[in-house]
Structure 1
Amino acid sequence: MQGGLRILQILRAPVGGLFRHVSDLTYALAERGHTLGIVADSLTSDDLTESRLEGLRPAATLGIHRIAMPRLAGINDISAALGIRRLADRLGVDVLHGHGAKGGLNARLARLGARRRVALYTPHGGVLNYAPGLMTGRLFRLVERGLTGVTDAIIFESHFAQRAFAEQIGEARCLTPVVHNGLQPSEFNPPPLAADPVDFVFIGEFRPVKGIPYLLEALATIKRPDGRPPRLAMAGGGPDFDAITALIGDLGLSEQVELAGVRPAREMLARGHCVVVPSLAESLPYVVLEAAAAGRQVIATRVGGIDEIFGPTADRLVPPAKAAALARAMQAYLDAPEAAASEIAMRLDHVRAGFSFDRMADSIESLYHDTVLRRRQS
């Protein structure tokens, strides 16, 4: 069976790499003859959210549907799953693909009792990002163990995520392939630098897991060879935006840091020479892939699957939550930027060979067909 499938992509909030992945996958599958719809949280609503979802409408011919999916676990998860189940029944959906902890939860709950429908889950970090001791993390891990029996496949974005899932939750009783995120061929064309480029660029959400305070502390301690303070452009928004803005002022960095707001990654890659990713936890961040493909130097922490992107240059990663280590790497770049050329070239070759958009789409499309066929033959 290799005909067109009817697919719902389910996510909570259209932000970050998760939404980039959903968007890419939706357009790729629509071009291959599948019919897709999007389900997103109705409680996460602002102009940016609406414009991002509207951008998917040409490919999402089953519609863009909003159902309440609160960030915290509760009784509303049951009503959300029932709403998705009714929607899937009405639309004749074959595949429910949940993204992130809440998307995955609701996709799999909605699949209960639907004998000929499959549910797949891509964590995108999700439950794996919760510290082991947190009550919320323990609850989500308990729920995750219970859901593996109604999951047809868990698609891991990195080998790290696959290992972490097995360690924290246990071996899943379903297919568990690793499918790396992929880039379009056009993303390997470096954007020209801006007329007045900054030294460093940060692209990401303003929330604790991104490690932004360590980046700012590092920035406050380094100097350019000519004695001038280095400049940093930051793109993103999120719950910690006000706190980060205050920290910039407290550290005396207001003249050095440009807050650009939420901007496309490629636009920001044109703003500076070196991308810094100070994360405390990740799975397989698109920003590292995009920066490497654009031929920019990348200073990143050794978390998640970032070493899979760095490949032969993984020894250059720095430990997380260590401002001094981050500062040393940033100072070394300022002192001798030309020394990074061979590292940049090796990383570019590695990403070009292993992180293809077509390979990602082919693998997930094949998995959809395989799981649907298994379900119909069972």
Structure 2
Amino acid sequence: MRDLTEAQVAAGHQVGIICDLSTGGDHEERLFEAIKPMLALGIWRTTMQRHVGPGDIAAGWRTYKIIKELRPDVLHGHGAKGGVYARAFGSLLRVSRYCVARLYSPHGGSLHYDERTLTGKLFFGLERLMERFTDHLLFVSDYERRTFIRKVGAPRVPNSLVYNGLRDEEFEPVPVGGADFLYIGMMRDLKGPDLFIDALARLRQHLGRNVTAVMVGDGEDLPHYRAQVERLGLAGDVRFMPPMPARLAFALAACVVVPSRAEAMPYIVLESLAAGKPIIATAVGGIPEILGTNSPALVMPSAEEIGERMRSSLENPVAYGKLMPGPVELKSRFGVSVMASDIEKAYFSALAPSRS
């Protein structure tokens, strides 16, 4: 969002962000403060609960009042809740004869539900219903587009695939750090920190020596992972650190491990590769679209496979590093200028029919 905002402002657009107040920490607060001066429409933060509940009524009303005051030309909703708000409130503005383009980017969220369950059927039915109030769907990975088609149905509105993009300075290499491996991300089981810790224990047993790691991030399950490290006797080898900019974290270790059980199109994989870091990542979501479906860096989300690939990277780090995609290839597909240009095209295409 920050990279897209900077690119849109540089192109001469006036941008604002409306987002949740209840999540995030000091790191996210610093990011908000850094981009606040460039946002002509400001940053508006209000409590938005992740799951559907009675609180949505009050949160929705607050959000609608903000949007009505800003009177934007484009409303771009990210994730299930943001998508509902952007399309519902954009449609209400249209009833008031105010033209606004309504775009939606599905990001995991409701797409993670099993379509065979009652909850899944409910959410996917709502997704299909909300298409009536959608001018354009923007997918960040072909995996998400295929998942949408399988669970919701083929899109009935214009849609496009636009990959996440990185700034030019993010393609500068980061020196190798002191630890062997790095995990960076939310401390929750969906992201696989427990698999990372178990893989470290397996690797130490196989090699017969200590293997060092840094785990960067925060979340409600953090105490659980600290206890797991203690239980497996890894306390002297694993260091926990609070959230920080990714490139600072990259300097702490030689290889990045992304052990997620489910993903959409994770920025951390792009950021790691752009910084010249070798990675080990699970073949879930859109990750194979970044690395290539036959990449030796891809593993299944199991501690055994992750540990085995970690062993390979330690045995010959130079050879393993050469297996990663090069910066020129990455920049041509995942540069921020490509992302911003493609999203701008979608905005203008969605605006044209609404204005006529």
TM-score, reference length from structure 2: 0.92
Q: What code does the residue aligned with 1:172 have?
A: P
Greater CA drift, 28-37 or 112-121: 112-121
Match of 1:330 among 294, 306, 310: 310
Tell me by how many angstroms 1:53 deviates. Answer: 2.3
Tell me by how many angstroms 1:236 deviates. Answer: 0.8
1:47/1:212 CA distance change after superposition, 3 Å: closer
Structure 2 residue aligned with 1:219: 200
Match of 1:207 among 172, 188, 193: 188
Rounded to whole Å, the distance in 2 between the matches of 1:294 and 1:26 is 22
Contact persistence 2:187–2:221 (CA under 8 A): yes
Do structure 1's residue 141 and structure 2's residue 120 form an aligned pair? no
Structure 2 residue aligned with 1:192: 175
Tell me by how many angstroms 1:34 deviates. Answer: 1.0
Rounded to whole Å, the distance in 1 between the matches of 2:233 and 2:27 is 31
Match of 2:49 among 46, 70, 81: 70
Rounded to whole Å, the distance in 2 between the matches of 1:111 and 1:264 is 34
Rounded to whole Å, the distance in 2 between the matches of 1:240 and 1:62 is 35
Tell me by how many angstroms 1:47 deviates. Answer: 4.2
Tell me by how many angstroms 1:357 deviates. Answer: 0.8
Structure 1 residue aligned with 2:322: 342
1:356/1:48 CA distance change after superposition, 3 Å: closer
Q: What code does the residue aligned with 1:212 have?
A: P
Structure 2 residue aligned with 1:158: 141
Rounded to whole Å, the distance in 1 between the matches of 2:279 and 2:32 is 30
CA deviation map 1:238-268 (0-9, x unaligned): 1211111111111111111111110111011
Structure 2 residue aligned with 1:292: 273
Rounded to whole Å, the distance in 2 between the matches of 1:143 and 1:253 is 46
Contact persistence 1:225–1:335 (CA under 8 A): no
1:343/1:141 CA distance change after superposition, 3 Å: same
Tell me by how many angstroms 1:45 deviates. Answer: 6.7
Classify the secondary structure of the residue corresponding to 1:56: helix
Rounded to whole Å, the distance in 1 between the matches of 2:197 and 2:26 is 29
Rounded to whole Å, the distance in 2 between the matches of 1:279 and 1:234 is 14
Tell me by how many angstroms 1:332 deviates. Answer: 1.2
Structure 1 residue aligned with 2:31: 52
1:360/1:192 CA distance change after superposition, 3 Å: same
Contact persistence 2:279–2:297 (CA under 8 A): no
TM-score, reference length from structure 1: 0.87
Tell me by how many angstroms 1:227 deviates. Answer: 4.5
Contact persistence 2:115–2:124 (CA under 8 A): no
Structure 2 residue aligned with 1:272: 253
Structure 2 residue aligned with 1:357: 336
CA deviation map 1:93-132 (0-9, x unaligned): 1111111222112111211232211211112222223344
Residue ranges of structure 1 left out of the alignment (5+ in a row): 1-21
1:46/1:308 CA distance change after superposition, 3 Å: closer
Rounded to whole Å, the distance in 2 between the matches of 1:312 and 1:147 is 33
Query: What does 1:127-138 align with in structure 2 at a 5 Å threshold?
Result: 127-132=110-115, 136-138=119-121
Q: What code does the residue aligned with 2:170 have?
A: E
User: Identity percentage over the alignment?
Assistant: 38
CA deviation map 1:43-101 (0-9, x unaligned): 33754443332222112121221223112202332443333333222222111111122
Greater CA drift, 282-291 or 117-126: 117-126
Tell me by how many angstroms 1:225 deviates. Answer: 9.7
Contact persistence 1:224–1:334 (CA under 8 A): no
Rounded to whole Å, the distance in 2 between the matches of 1:256 and 1:358 is 40
Query: What does 1:4-43 align with in structure 2 at a 5 Å threshold?
Result: 22-43=1-22
Residue ranges of structure 2 left out of the alignment (5+ in a row): none
1:29/1:349 CA distance change after superposition, 3 Å: closer
CA deviation map 1:163-191 (0-9, x unaligned): 00111111222222110011112111112
Do structure 1's residue 282 and structure 2's residue 263 form an aligned pair? yes
Structure 2 residue aligned with 1:90: 69
CA RMSD between the two structures: 2.1
Query: What does 1:219-258 align with in structure 2 at a 5 Å threshold?
Result: 219-223=200-204, 227-258=208-239
Rounded to whole Å, the distance in 2 between the matches of 1:296 and 1:48 is 22
Structure 2 residue aligned with 1:169: 152
Contact persistence 1:312–1:347 (CA under 8 A): no
Do structure 1's residue 179 and structure 2's residue 158 form an aligned pair? no
Structure 2 residue aligned with 1:306: 287
Rounded to whole Å, the distance in 2 between the matches of 1:299 and 1:146 is 39
1:43/1:198 CA distance change after superposition, 3 Å: closer
Q: What code does the residue aligned with 1:360 have?
A: M
Contact persistence 1:313–1:343 (CA under 8 A): no
Rounded to whole Å, the distance in 1 between the matches of 2:79 and 2:102 is 13
Rounded to whole Å, the distance in 1 between the matches of 2:326 and 2:117 is 36
Contact persistence 1:223–1:331 (CA under 8 A): no
Q: What code does the residue aligned with 1:182 have?
A: G
Do structure 1's residue 100 and structure 2's residue 79 form an aligned pair? yes
Tell me by how many angstroms 1:317 deviates. Answer: 1.0
Rounded to whole Å, the distance in 1 between the matches of 2:25 and 2:275 is 31
